[in-house]
Amino acid sequence: MESARRAGKHAVCIIGYGPVGATLANLLGARGIPTLVLERETAAHHLPRAVHFDDEAMRLFQAVDLAETLLPLTHVSPGMRFVDAGGKLLMDWPRPQDRGAQGWHVSYRFHQPDLERVLRDGLARWPAVSVRTCCEATDIVHDAEGANVTFTDRRTGAVETARAEFVVGCDGARSLVRRIMGAGLDDLGFHERWLVVDVLLRRPRPDLGDWSIQFCNPARPATYVRGTGTRRRWEIALHEGEDAAAMEAPEQVWRLLAPWLRPDDAELERAACYTFHSAVATGWRSGRLLLAGDACHLTPPFLGQGMCAGLRDVANLAWKLERVLRGLAPETLLDTYESERAPHVRAYIELAVRLGGLINTKAIDAALAVGARAPEAEAPRMASLAPQLGSGLAAGWNGLPRRPAPQPTLQDGRRLDDAIGYRGALLLRTDVPLPASAPDRLASRDVALVQDPVIDAWLRDNAVLAAAMPADRYVRGAARDAAELDGLLAAL
């Protein structure tokens, strides 16, 4: 057999150029990490997929300076309503219309191909990143220092190999990297077939509304989502034995849409049957191989969190990879990736599964658990919607919730993340003297120091002098006194 051509050496090889791989490439590119992206297809995925992302996702796009480009391509969601088969309101889940603690709205509607285009175009800014589309990874052999990735250029048929210190499989639900790693999949029990239909309205239909609506109709559960522009989405449960091809046929799609829409109202853009699964991989790292996104977790889409979870993965992973590659941390830092992320994504998936159950059965507890309220209830219960990271990286005192630090506007008018850029920060009260060792320590770790009266308020509310916020913005530790502050600095 002809020996494979060599395609160079890289710090990181990302397999898969979906939203998760493209975001990781932007994060690594922004930090100047030599990165190769391999993607089997020539163009981005064309079937209907994500329509919602949250404030944390927008904060991540802000980190790579793409949030303002994305903003005009989004629509702020007013929330979600649950109605019964007769249209009676069962529950209401309004979403705030002002920017919240993360500095962004909590729920954006968008069109996944728009996002993927912005992420891909954004890579042009980073000379450290090279992208090879139409190149399918077929094998990976890894050792203690890195991995050889074999791939086929599908245009020419040429077989090549690339060497990378780390390989990240962002290669979706049927991940080759996961199979090569031998990672297991913990099945969380939800498997249902749904038909997903995107239409483009030909004429205004304000009566459809901007709210997402869950039609809790046991005979045929369905979801309506207002997209951006004239795009509207229906997701409709399929019955056992219904044939996918027959259900995707336009005449059948129009029959299913009849309660809401007629053919002269809209043009069918796409209709596709999906089987929604719920699973979390066990073993997100094997030596120099790692997994992110759909490659290591799958969720039904009822909370709109599948891609968002993948974005959190790469936010968590990117700065840790950089630390290890630059020799600032041992490789074991990468073990905190799964231990922190897996419980977090599992909590979201379990909630989405319960919501799926609600849409099928009208069991209102599941929706109340995510903050929806029954029409007569006084206050929404939002707490369970913000899981914490699992155990992992710890610095100083660990009493603060392992959630994202807020992003306030600082005294000089800049938002926190714009002030620090894409790197970690030590948030320190203005009345606390900086330890003598701190400037060198912060400079050698490229960690920003933030001392600002606005941050003081948050630190005081939490009864701490300082908090450590790595580049993924999740708090990893705090200090209540000088000794703990020393510990915090040592762990940065």
Ligand X SMILES: Cc1cc2nc3c(=O)[nH]c(=O)nc-3n(C[C@H](O)[C@H](O)[C@H](O)COP(=O)(O)OP(=O)(O)OC[C@H]3O[C@@H](n4cnc5c(N)ncnc54)[C@H](O)[C@@H]3O)c2cc1C
Instruction: List interacting residues with ligand X (CB under 6 A).
Output: 15-21, 38-41, 45, 48-53, 112, 136-137, 170-172, 176, 196, 274, 293-294, 301, 304-308, 310
Collapse the DSSP code of 378 into the 3-class scheme (helix H, G, I; strand E, B; otherwise coil) and give the result: coil
How far does the chain reach from its first CA to its final CA, in angstroms? 49
Which residue, 172 or 392, is less far from ligand X as judged by CB?
172
User: CB of residue 485 vs ligand X: minimum separation in angstroms?
Assistant: 37
Q: Could you tell me the CA-to-CA distances from 3 to 9, 149, 367 in Å, in that order?
A: 17, 14, 57
Q: Smaller CB distance to ligand X: residue 146 or 310?
A: 310
310 versus 406: smaller Cβ distance to ligand X: 310
Nearer Cβ to ligand X (17/126): 17
Place of tokens 């336009």: 250
Q: Shortest approach of ligand X to residue 7 CB, angstroms? A: 13
Question: Smallest gap, in angstroms, from Cβ of residue 82 to ligand X?
Answer: 17
C-alpha to C-alpha distance for 371 and 369, rounded to whole angstroms: 6
The residue (of 45 and 117) whose beta carbon lies closer to ligand X is 45
State the minimum distance, in angstroms, from the CB of residue 156 to ligand X: 16
Nearer to ligand X, 25 or 479 (CB): 25
Cβ proximity to ligand X, 321 vs 393, nearer residue: 321
Contact by Cβ (8 Å): 7, 162:
yes
Minimum CB distance to ligand X, residue 408 (Å): 26
Q: Least distance in Å: CB of 255 to ligand X?
A: 20
Comparison of 152 and 428: residue with beta carbon closer to ligand X:
152
Residue 274 and residue 191: Cα distance in Å, rounded?
10
Among residues 371 and 396, whose Cβ is nearest to ligand X? 371
Residue 44 CB, nearest approach to ligand X (Å) = 7
Taking CA atoms, 129 is separated from 29, 333, 376, in Å, by: 6, 24, 54
Compute the Cα dihedral for 176, 177, 179, 184 and give only its sign.
Answer: negative
Q: Which amino acid is at 165?
A: E
Q: Smallest distance, Å, CB 245 to ligand X?
A: 18
Question: CA-to-CA distance for 308 and 363, rounded, in angstroms?
Answer: 26
In 3D space, the residue among 251, 301, 307 whose CA is nearest the CA of residue 276 turns out to be 301
CA 441: distance to chain centroid? 31
- Cβ pair 57, 311 in contact under 8 A: yes
CB nearer ligand X, residue 48 or residue 406: 48
Residue 235, C-beta contacts closer than 8 angstroms, at least 6 positions apart? 194, 195, 196, 197, 222, 223, 225, 301
Closest distance to ligand X from the beta carbon of 336 (Å) = 21
What is the rounded CA–CA span in Å between residue 51 and residue 10?
A: 33
- As measured in angstroms, the least distance from the Cβ of 37 to ligand X is 9
CB of 20 to ligand X, least distance (A): 3
The b-or-e profile of 332-367 (16+ CB within 10 A means b, else e) is ebbebbbebbbbbbbbbbbbbbbbbbbbeebebebb
Question: Distance between CA 54 and CA 25 in Å, rounded?
Answer: 20
What is the sign, positive or negative, of the torsion defined by CA atoms of 76, 78, 80, 83? negative
Closest contact distance (angstroms) between CB of 127 and ligand X is 22
Q: What tokens were used for 98?
A: 């002002």
Owner of token pair 């992110």 = 292
Q: What is the DSSP letter of 349?
A: H
CB 225 within 8 A of CB 52: yes
Tokens of 22: 């493209």
Nearest residue (CB) to ligand X, 110 versus 458: 110
Nearer to ligand X, 33 or 51 (CB): 51
Strand arrangement, sheet containing 222-226: 89-94, 79-84, 212-216, 222-226, 231-237, 184-201, 266-282, 297-298
